[in-house]
Structure 1
Amino acid sequence: MTIGNALFAELNIQSFRGLRGEISDLQGRIASGTQDPRASADPLRFVRLSAATEQQDTLGRYADNLRLAGDRLDHADTVLAEANQIAQRLGEIALRSATDSTGDDFRSALAAEVEQLRAALIDVANATDGGGESLFAGLSGVRAPFRESAEGDVAYHGDAAVQRLRTSETRSLQTGVSGAEAFLGVERADGQVGSVFDIVDDLAASIGAHPGARESAFAAEGGLRLSLDPDAGSGPTRLTVEGPDGRAEVAADVAAGSPGALVAAINAATAETGVTASVAPDGASIDLAGAGTISVSRIVQEGARGTGPAAEAVALDAGTPVGAPEALRPLRHDKQAQMDAVDTLQNHFADLRSKVGALGAAAESQGRTVENRQVMIREAVAGLEDLDVAAAITDLRTRLVTLQAAQQSFVKVSGLSLFDYLR
């Protein structure tokens, strides 16, 4: 096939342009020190590089999650340390208020301080992390999960869930504790599980409220009448009954205004105590009788959270009340019970700090693991991306020589004519 001069020139110019493009691309890769990123250059290397890059991005997300988890755990530890300090001060107040020499004026001052500490605990419970997200709202997204109602009760508007972040292909890390665990699940000395704020409210009530009900036991000779708090509602009720034959703790599920179940429970323990019980003529109170001194104490009405007395008691003489009824405070307002409750509160926050500390240590350990994996994957990516500069320079020189030889050949061939062939 015959090729004309014009076509010959065009084909050579295209070839020179392609060589110059390859040379320019090679010079750029030598300058950057990286391999050709196109899949067509090396399909196998491209696949391996894509997988390594994806793994590198995944490890970056794990590292970010661990940093976020560490930040939240650090904030939670700081907040719980503050809560523990408040609990320690509450313990000092409980101890001071239990002293018989403490006057009413000083009790009022202590009760006022307890209210201030209660407000501080609400602020602690609504603390946020460095990003402004609540530490104790669970997954609800509520900014202030603990709110005080108009009646003075503190209600929780979060949930019991705990935020977790993925830290590896197979692991996730808890980033704190739930508000329900931190501030609602405290087991009291009387066996009830209540909130932190219930304990504080009971301490304030035992210090400053119903000063006429500072005793939790009542004793009388021969008989007494016990009237439970009608506002306590229905629910399990426990109390200690002591008579001439001994002492027993009795319990019953009492319906409001109907003490029959508790009467039956007291009579079931008559062999231990020597005390019998019957429903009083008013239908709402309990009459206790025994051949000697009888007493009632340690009254627990589960679910009752009021500041008033748990019951009233009056001595009986032949079934007739003698004197004025005396108010009895519930067991949770007892001096020793208050000190035990606040001590439990301190231990509760200390345990939470230990748990958060263990989670923080786990975050640090997993963080080191992720960092080591990131170093390894960076080395793998570098091995796939980095250019063999010596080989590339040799290739560049070869291409430059090829271009120069091609250009010289083109000049030589394009300069020939018929007379050159005849010569």
Structure 2
Amino acid sequence: MRISTANSYDNTVSLLARRQAELAAQQEKIATGKRVQKASDDPVAATLAETAQNRLSRTQADLRVLDNARSSLQQAESGLAESGELIQKVRDLLVSAGNATFGPSEREDIARQLEGLREQMIGVANLKDNAGRTLFGGLGGSATPFVDLYDPSGNGVQFNGQRGQAAAGNTSLPQALDGDAIWMRVPQGNGSFTLSLDAGNTGSVSTSVGEVSDPTALTGDDYRIDFAQVAGVMQYTVTNVTTPAANPMPGQTGVPYTNGMTIEFDGQSLQMNGQPAAGDQVDLVPSTNTDIFSVVEDAIAALRYTGANNSAHRTQELARTITELDAGHDRVLLARGRAGEWLNRGDSLDALMEDRSVDLKTEKSRLEDLDMVQGISDFQTQQLGLEAALKSYAQVQRLSLFQVIN
């Protein structure tokens, strides 16, 4: 079979052009550092690299959301710390207000300080993060979750947010805490029952906040302790006013009273101090929930109370509000501890997703990046081959039959 010289030259030129194109492509890969620049370069690697890129984008988006949540939680934790400090200042003032040597002016000064601290507490409860979101609005619902309605009519603080707490996810944290659960769910009294003096009392009797001596014996009923003078002896009688007949309780009827005595009935015990007058009474009712702002309001009202037997009333109310304040402080500390746990979890999630991002970047690089050492070696080999082909082509092109005919 004979092959024409022209055809041989054409094939050689085509081969040289292809080699030049391959060399240019290899040069481009070295310049970009990418082995796979388009899907046709390696369809399988291109598909897997795109999948890795999508997963990397989602992970980076989760990281941004997590960073925002951590920032909000850090500000919320700082706000809870400030709230705890304010509550402690209120408690210190209430303890000092029990000083028997204080007169109306000193008590009024403390009451005004308490009003200022109460306003600061509301301000903390309405804190917002850097994005303008409320930190203690629960599940949302209001730009100002805690609205102050404090006025002479007795209205206090109202929670206008949405109760509840967003759950933490595998890659996310809640960005707001449930302020209602933190400040608006403080148990009254000792948490089981509340003791209060009748407004018409004229004696100096007051009580402790009481305690539960036998939880299994609690009835959840209302009780009244009445005092009467019988044959020159002060006596007390405990009556269950919830029962239809409201009969005095056996063993607690006409009992002689002594200052500082402790009485116990239906799993409840309390200490009575001071000297009652005939007709005085003490009421005992099951505890409900109050809020930390109302606790401060009650303390302010007790300091400004000017009715009959104001000393006993003030002693009774201050003891109760200090107990409720401690319970409210415990709830703030509990919420702060929970925020700290979430922040620790956020650190773990951040480290986990950062490691995941590194793994995805490594996988993507392995699929589409060029091995520079191998790439340069291939480039030099192709360059050497092209140079040899060009030189050989130049030599062959000069050969002709006419050059050997004499």
TM-score of the superposition, structure 2-length normalised?
0.68
Matched residue type, 1:31: A
Q: Structure 1 CA distance, aligned partners of 2:43 and 2:6? A: 40
Q: Which residue of 1 aligns with 2:124?
A: 124
Cα deviation for residue 75 of structure 1 reads: 0.7
- Helix, strand or coil for the counterpart of 1:354? helix
- Helix, strand or coil for the counterpart of 1:155? strand
Q: Which residue of 2 aligns with 1:200?
A: none
Q: Which residue of 1 aligns with 2:282?
A: 297
Q: Is 1:162 matched up with 2:165?
A: yes
Match of 1:366 among 342, 346, 349: 349
Q: Which residue of 2 aligns with 1:350?
A: 333
Cα deviation for residue 404 of structure 1 reads: 4.1
Q: Is the 8 A contact 1:139 1:158 kept in 2?
A: yes
Q: Which residue of 2 aligns with 1:198?
A: none
Cα deviation for residue 32 of structure 1 reads: 3.3
Q: Which has the higher contact order (CA 8 A, sep 6+)?
A: 2
Q: Which moved more, 1:391-400 or 1:236-245?
A: 236-245
After superposition, the Cα gap between the structure-2 partners of 1:391 and 1:188, relative to the gap in structure 1 and judged at 3 Å, is same
Q: Which moved more, 1:239-248 or 1:335-344?
A: 239-248
Cα deviation for residue 326 of structure 1 reads: 7.9
Q: Which residue of 1 aligns with 2:324?
A: 341
Q: Structure 2 CA distance, aligned partners of 1:237 and 1:217? A: 23
Q: Structure 1 CA distance, aligned partners of 2:239 and 2:124? A: 38
Q: Structure 2 CA distance, aligned partners of 1:330 and 1:17? A: 106
Match of 1:385 among 362, 368, 377: 368
Q: Which residue of 1 aligns with 2:137?
A: 137
Q: Which residue of 2 aligns with 1:266?
A: 246
Q: Is 1:395 matched up with 2:395?
A: no
- Helix, strand or coil for the counterpart of 2:246? helix
Q: Is the 8 A contact 1:165 1:173 kept in 2?
A: yes
After superposition, the Cα gap between the structure-2 partners of 1:376 and 1:303, relative to the gap in structure 1 and judged at 3 Å, is closer
Q: Which residue of 1 aligns with 2:211?
A: none
Q: Is the 8 A contact 1:215 1:329 kept in 2?
A: no
Q: Is 1:78 matched up with 2:78?
A: yes
Q: Structure 2 CA distance, aligned partners of 1:303 and 1:374? A: 48
Q: Which residue of 1 aligns with 2:206?
A: none
Listed as ranges, the gaps of 5+ residues in structure 2 are: 204-219, 229-234, 255-276
After superposition, the Cα gap between the structure-2 partners of 1:37 and 1:248, relative to the gap in structure 1 and judged at 3 Å, is farther
Q: Structure 2 CA distance, aligned partners of 1:57 and 1:84? A: 41
Q: Which residue of 2 aligns with 1:27?
A: 27
Matched residue type, 1:240: R
Cα deviation for residue 70 of structure 1 reads: 2.0
Q: Structure 2 CA distance, aligned partners of 1:94 and 1:167? A: 45
> Structure 1 or 2: larger strand share?
1
Equivalent residues in 2 for 1:220-235, closer than 5 Å = none
- Helix, strand or coil for the counterpart of 1:54? helix
Alignment length (residue pairs): 345
Q: Is 1:240 matched up with 2:224?
A: yes
- Helix, strand or coil for the counterpart of 2:224? strand
Cα deviation for residue 69 of structure 1 reads: 2.5
Q: Is the 8 A contact 1:247 1:273 kept in 2?
A: yes
Q: Is the 8 A contact 2:73 2:339 kept in 1?
A: yes
Cα deviation for residue 158 of structure 1 reads: 1.2
- Helix, strand or coil for the counterpart of 1:174? coil
C-alpha RMSD of matched pairs (Å):
4.5
Q: Structure 1 CA distance, aligned partners of 2:250 and 2:371? A: 97
1:348-390 deviations in whole A, cap 9, x for unaligned?
A: 2222222211221221222222233333333333322331223
Q: Is the 8 A contact 1:216 1:299 kept in 2?
A: no
Q: Structure 1 CA distance, aligned partners of 2:104 and 2:378? A: 97
Q: Structure 1 CA distance, aligned partners of 2:278 and 2:158? A: 44
Cα deviation for residue 336 of structure 1 reads: 1.3
Q: Structure 2 CA distance, aligned partners of 1:40 and 1:115? A: 74
After superposition, the Cα gap between the structure-2 partners of 1:83 and 1:45, relative to the gap in structure 1 and judged at 3 Å, is same
After superposition, the Cα gap between the structure-2 partners of 1:293 and 1:153, relative to the gap in structure 1 and judged at 3 Å, is closer
Cα deviation for residue 2 of structure 1 reads: 11
Listed as ranges, the gaps of 5+ residues in structure 1 are: 194-212, 221-235, 253-261, 276-291, 311-323
Matched residue type, 1:298: D
Q: Which moved more, 1:360-369 or 1:394-403?
A: 394-403
Q: Structure 1 CA distance, aligned partners of 2:54 and 2:252? A: 76
Q: Is the 8 A contact 1:298 1:331 kept in 2?
A: no
Q: Structure 2 CA distance, aligned partners of 1:342 and 1:95? A: 12
Cα deviation for residue 130 of structure 1 reads: 2.8
- Helix, strand or coil for the counterpart of 1:189? coil
Identity of aligned residues (%): 21
